[in-house]
Amino acid sequence: MLDLASPSNFPLINPEIVSEEGAVVAEEGCLSVPDFTEKVKRAARVKVRAKDRAGKTFELEADGLMAKALQHEIDHLNGTLFIDRLSPIKKSIFRRKLKKALAETA
């Protein structure tokens, strides 16, 4: 099990989610999408496989905020933003807000 208090366990190199359990819906935001937050459904618990600085493969299990952060950040590595995980209706609300914000800065 990963000791989250130890910075020597980071970074996680080429992390991938190998299993997930449960579901939880919680508010998310992202520095890549300023001034917009929305509820996103994520797995409640994940197991992640990654390499450490020495190139050794290890696995860690996480729940709560850490599980949410791992899923969010691993999504980034795969080119996915949390807005890509929203329902079509919520996505259209986001597009409208973005359009309005862009019009105000133009």
Contacting positions for Zn ion (CB under 5 A):
30
For Zn ion, the closer of residues 79 and 88 by Cβ is 79
Question: Minimum distance between the CB of residue 33 and Zn ion, rounded to whole angstroms?
Answer: 7
Query: Taking Cα atoms as reference points, which of 82, 71, 81, 73 lies closest to residue 38?
Result: 82
Of 16, 21, 59, 73, catalytic: 73
Question: Minimum distance between the CB of residue 26 and Zn ion, rounded to whole angstroms?
Answer: 14
Q: Is 28 one of the catalytic residues?
A: no
Question: Minimum distance between the CB of residue 55 and Zn ion, rounded to whole angstroms?
Answer: 26
CA separation (Å) from 77 to 13, 17, 46, 73, 74? 11, 12, 16, 7, 5
- Closest residue to Zn ion using C-beta atoms: 30
